Chain A
């Protein structure tokens, strides 16, 4: 189907559900995928790949059972087919050291502190996904209504002149 997914990695069910509900307004255009730990996230990633879909934005908690969120983001940044994914850390516990590592090594795009507000979460998601689709999509029009319309229109105009 070749759809773009938002991957949420969060182990606490209540928090995960809350994020999922806050992202519901994007569900018509983006597939919301939930994972409760890093291993689960890899499974989701594999399933998406096999069905021809791909992740455009990863919202990742840091303190997870098993591997740490930052380590997974670094892993994503090291593989060529996942490097383009927009990476956002959403956490209440990452220390300065981990955060610095995430910025330096995972090319972290944003950091959302818990507790978050829906306005802030939406702003970050829109901004990051807009960047993502401009970089990776040929047809930007479907996203104009849900993402940053002004920037997308400008991009479309630029491309029109190029072609």
Chain B
């Protein structure tokens, strides 16, 4: 345990010796006295001591030193935290009052010893200072130095400490109570108490009255104090996108500027008086003082602050929720609008398609009508020719053979090319004349017997030979037949066209579904050449409906089937009555099937599997089918697997009334 240290500095060796002697006697065995001649020696010694635990309770410095003054030296030592508690005594015969005032102002001087000193003065001063030092810095060491302790001072110190402890304890309890009580208090009460506390702690508080609309703080302003809102309301705004947006009104809180002060930043918001307001301005220095003087003020301030922040934060959360809701509403609206737009586009496309179909229908009906007359004329002319030939034959020497050849050619028609070659080969073998056989078979004479009975002496006679004449007769018959067949086909086509295009403006009560299907099939003609059409027709009643529209349904479905089968395959058409009030038509193709991913979209507008191309009967076709079927109160369904795609159309046999909205084809 090392001795306590008393450091003395004096230029005069005699004075140093006197201090050494007197202090050594006074302080006793526990103290060591060190003396130094100059300030720098003393400072050097203290520097060595800085990092030790050695206590230096007292330092004495003479006023005049060779390198500094006693005041400057003591003040310099006092600057060092390690030696701030060291009691500092100035030894002076003639102290300069200005310097002493400086030292006392800095609390760097604890005692002044006159020179020469008397022992009583020295003793009372040193004892008091040592006792103070130990009470303050090392109360545990007091029992080591009983001889130097100033008993009165000690007991005073004890009672003071006790008093202080009690006060502290009381303050602590009050703080705790205060915080807890604030927690229970309503906002306005805490705020009222805060204002009251500020008023009572700060002697010279004032009130600032401002009319509504007055700016109190601007965004970006430096804040040098807070303003407590005593009366009225303020709003917190900020310029966003060229517009002043209110962030807080009800949630503004009562302490203006505290956030900026706490963050040490310029004001974030513009603060404006929303109504006439009364403010209590508090500068930062005043606030600092008030907080030191009143612990409860801090509690009030913190409570008000925390609550204000909480309100703002809750409002922030609230606004986020509202923004989310608005965003959701917007998204919903946007989706709805997009849907409406899509619907409109579809409707427009549908209308265009419908209009196109209507125009086509009129065109087809017109052409059908125009074709009717020439076809009728050809048909009649054919029959007239036939009658004229009969009449000529009646008075003709070769009339019997003429009529026989014409009738044979008419009734038999041309041979297939395969049969013709077979007959030719046989007849050539029989007759031994290839060229003759060729000519005979061409006119339908396929056996030697027929040849002999019809031609007889064919080789005899002059031009034209009997065979030449037979060829002419045959050609007459064949031409008649071809005329009749071809004009018949045209007539049937015309009939189909007109029937097909018969506008759906009027509902019919006698629609024959099989006839309707057949007319449609006839129109496909060549397209169905390599497709085997299997008809599995059941017994169907005639039904109510729009024949033209129903034809359009079959046309679209058959067209799709042909395309799906790439022109060849089997198209099965089944009809039946699932119940007495409905008929059902199934069109089944042997194509590769519809991609399952597309199956539920085939009735969508614009849907097409042919790389987005929309052609007649395609793309919009299935949607149009669906529209027509639904207009007939029926249903259309599709089922598909590789090799079998089946469209099922079910229609009621009777319609509830006039389908007034069905006046579009």
Contact = CB atoms under 8 A, between A and B. Distances in A.
B475 interface: yes
B421 A47 contact: yes
Contacts of A14: 414, 482, 485-486
Contacts of A42: none
Contact of A36 (B418, B486, B529, B530): B418
B414 A17 contact: yes
A75 B485 CA distance: 34
Given A14-B482, A65-B530, A36 B416 contact: yes
Contact of B417 (A21, A40, A63, A93): A40
Interface residues of A, number: 18
A75 B232 CA distance: 102
A19 to B, nearest CB: 12
B426 interface: no
B215 to A, nearest CB: 81
A134 interface: no
Interface string A4-43: 0000000001101110110000000000001110001001
B530 A35 contact: no
B414 A18 contact: no
B530 A16 contact: no
B523 to A, nearest CB: 15
Contacts of A17: 414, 478, 482
B420 interface: yes
Secondary structure call for the A interface: helix
A95 interface: no
Contact of B414 (A13, A43, A63): A13
Interface of A: 13-14, 16-18, 20-21, 34-36, 40, 43-44, 47, 63, 65-66, 93
A5 to B, nearest CB: 12
A152 to B, nearest CB: 24
Given A63-B529, A65-B530, A16 B421 contact: no
Given A21-B475, A44-B421, A16 B526 contact: no
Interface of B: 413-414, 416-418, 420-421, 442, 475, 478, 482, 485-486, 526, 529-530
Given A20-B442, A40-B417, A43-B421, 7 more contacts: A13-B416, A16-B414, A17-B478, A18-B482, A40-B418, A63-B526, A93-B526
A34 B417 contact: yes
A116 to B, nearest CB: 15
Nearest to B415: A13
A20 B597 CA distance: 53
Nearest to B442: A20
A20 B474 CA distance: 14
B485 A36 contact: no
Contacts of A34: 417, 420
B230 to A, nearest CB: 93
A14 B418 CA distance: 16
29 contacts: A13-B413, A13-B414, A13-B416, A14-B485, A16-B414, A16-B417, A17-B414, A18-B482, A20-B442, A21-B475, A34-B417, A34-B420, A35-B417, A36-B416, A36-B417, A36-B418, A40-B417, A40-B418, A43-B418, A43-B421, A44-B417, A44-B421, A47-B421, A63-B526, A63-B529, A65-B529, A65-B530, A66-B530, A93-B526
A57 B475 CA distance: 24
A17 B414 CA distance: 7
A41 to B, nearest CB: 9
Nearest to A41: B417
Contacts of B416: 13, 36
